[in-house]
């Protein structure tokens, strides 16, 4: 029997399905999104210049994307503000599930209307097996482009009405839309720096800077790469006594809880204390000292364990700012899988406090399996990383790429590599050692 004689094919030939719409109504789309649970919606064309660096990832999820529907779902504020982590974490995870269900239901409704669409996962699960970037569609820049808010000092999107108490979702549309939204013309962030004051490890800086590795090490202690530190502790421990010297029974139980009931954030204080947003701001405006006493202090006064890299800015910040909190040193768990990832991780791992007084330019040359050139400039406690060699170098480092990756992953000693000339350093060795101090752990 030829395929044309198949019953399904014959039925479809006899009554072909109507073609889907060539363009969608923005008004209809937004009403549909709200009907299935979104609290606010924005639309942006996929060719928007602000999303150019995201386009390749968007196309990997859904190659036929023509437009993006960004939406928010509100969180309940008081659970997020609770010092009890189980209460706060449950709110985050429940709303993440809701975001994914809203996106899924929206795609189902669009499919029924003859519109091709694909929902992008919100938060979890992630592409954890990929080297480098662990997510595909970045919801924050899409939401900003779609007019749903701006990025605050705490690096989260602040919605003009709901403030920081929102989680984001994105649906990729295979059909263009008749009207698109634009970014809002102001930033709801008040610049109050309460998020800076509340961060227990000092990842947020008063001048707007952000220490990614510090936040990752503590807040995401039981997520993603940090899980490997726990696995490593078990592998390296010769017996239970040795294991318990590294992990308390409480930490082991907490890891079990995260594995069983979704991973727990150690802190989301930056979002919890944020007073921005029309629905959120009044208590802060009416009584700022009272707001700090009621919302901020329960979090800053909380007795808890803070996880830091040895010799990091976070370690000194926690000891100075929160002496009542326990500080625990842990190992670096971001593995370096390629020269490209090493270069990309430098700005993320840079510790400004450790760079005080350092001003130098470093030229890196990698040979062997991977070849690359890079220039790293450290000045005024800031780091700049560029491909290629630029300017006059104070220190020139030439390294076999495979050897350097082994050094970064603590599988090979740098002094051995230098002796065997697998790593060569020309210039002031004191400056080379100072470079290393800027990246503890």
H helix intervals, 62-134 = 77-81, 85-112
pLDDT in tens, the chain (441 residues): 799 999 998 988 888 777 778 899 999 999 999 999 999 999 999 999 999 999 999 999 999 999 999 999 999 999 999 999 999 999 999 999 999 999 999 999 999 999 999 999 876 666 765 556 678 899 999 999 999 999 999 999 999 999 999 999 999 999 999 999 999 999 999 999 999 999 999 999 998 899 999 998 999 888 766 777 788 888 889 999 998 888 888 888 888 888 888 888 899 999 999 999 999 999 999 999 999 999 999 999 999 999 999 999 999 999 999 999 999 998 777 778 899 989 999 999 999 999 999 999 999 999 999 999 999 999 999 999 999 999 999 999 999 999 999 999 888 999 999 999 999 999 999 999 999 999 987
Residue 195 to residue 204: CA distance in whole angstroms: 7
Residue 329 to residue 229: CA distance in whole angstroms: 12
Residues listed for the chain? 441
Can the peptide bond before residue 125 be classed as cis, meaning omega within 30 degrees of 0?
A: yes
pTM: 0.90
CA distances from 433 to 335, 340, 396, 425 (A): 21, 22, 13, 11
Domains of the chain and CATH, by start: 20-173 (3.40.109), 194-329 (no CATH), 339-437 (3.30.1050.10)
CB atoms within 10 A of CB 170: 27
CA distances from 309 to 216, 217, 294, 423, 438 (A): 11, 7, 31, 25, 12
State the DSSP code for 296: I
CB atoms within 10 A of CB 186: 8
């Amino acid at each position: 029997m030829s395929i044309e004689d198949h019953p399904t094919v014959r039925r479809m030939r006899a009554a072909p399905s109507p073609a889907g719409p060539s363009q969608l109504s923005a008004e209809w789309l937004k009403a549909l999104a709200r009907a299935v649970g979104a609290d606010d919606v924005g639309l942006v064309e996929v060719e928007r210049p602000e999303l150019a660096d995201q386009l390749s990832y968007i196309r990997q999820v859904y190659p036929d994307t023509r437009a993006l529907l960004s939406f928010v779902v509100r969180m309940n504020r008081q659970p997020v503000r609770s010092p009890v982590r189980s209460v706060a974490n449950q709110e985050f995870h429940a709303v993440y599930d809701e975001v994914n269900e809203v996106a899924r239901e929206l795609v189902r409704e669009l499919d029924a209307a003859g519109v091709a669409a694909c929902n992008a996962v919100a938060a979890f699960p992630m592409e954890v097996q990929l080297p480098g970037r662990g997510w595909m569609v970045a919801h924050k820049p899409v939401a900003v482009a779609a007019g749903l808010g701006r990025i605050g000092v705490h690096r989260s999107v602040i919605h003009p009405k709901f403030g920081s108490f929102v989680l984001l979702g994105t649906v990729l549309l295979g059909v263009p839309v008749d009207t698109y939204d634009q970014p809002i013309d102001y930033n709801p962030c008040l610049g109050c720096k309460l998020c800076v004051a509340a961060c227990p490890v000092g990842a947020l800086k008063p001048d707007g800077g952000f220490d990614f590795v510090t936040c990752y090490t503590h807040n995401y202690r039981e997520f993603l790469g940090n899980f490997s530190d726990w696995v490593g502790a078990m592998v390296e421990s010769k017996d239970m006594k040795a294991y318990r010297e590294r992990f308390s029974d409480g930490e082991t139980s907490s890891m079990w809880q995260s594995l069983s009931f979704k991973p727990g954030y150690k802190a989301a204080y930056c979002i919890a204390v944020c007073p921005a947003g029309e629905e959120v701001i009044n208590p802060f405006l009416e009584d700022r000292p009272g707001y700090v006493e009621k919302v901020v202090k329960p979090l800053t006064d909380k007795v808890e364990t803070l996880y830091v890299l040895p010799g990091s800015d976070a370690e000194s910040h926690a000891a100075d700012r929160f002496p009542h909190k326990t500080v625990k040193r842990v190992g670096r768990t971001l593995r370096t899988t390629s020269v490209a990832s090493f270069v990309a991780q430098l700005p993320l791992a840079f510790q400004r406090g450790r760079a005080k007084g350092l001003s130098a330019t470093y030229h890196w040359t990698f040979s062997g399996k991977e070849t690359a050139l890079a220039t790293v400039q450290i000045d005024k406690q800031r780091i700049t990383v560029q491909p290629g060699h630029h300017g006059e170098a104070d220190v020139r480092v030439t390294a076999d790429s495979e050897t350097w990756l082994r050094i970064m992953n603590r599988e090979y000693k740098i002094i051995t590599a230098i002796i065997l000339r697998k790593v060569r350093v020309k210039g002031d060795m004191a400056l080379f050692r100072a470079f290393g101090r800027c990246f503890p752990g």
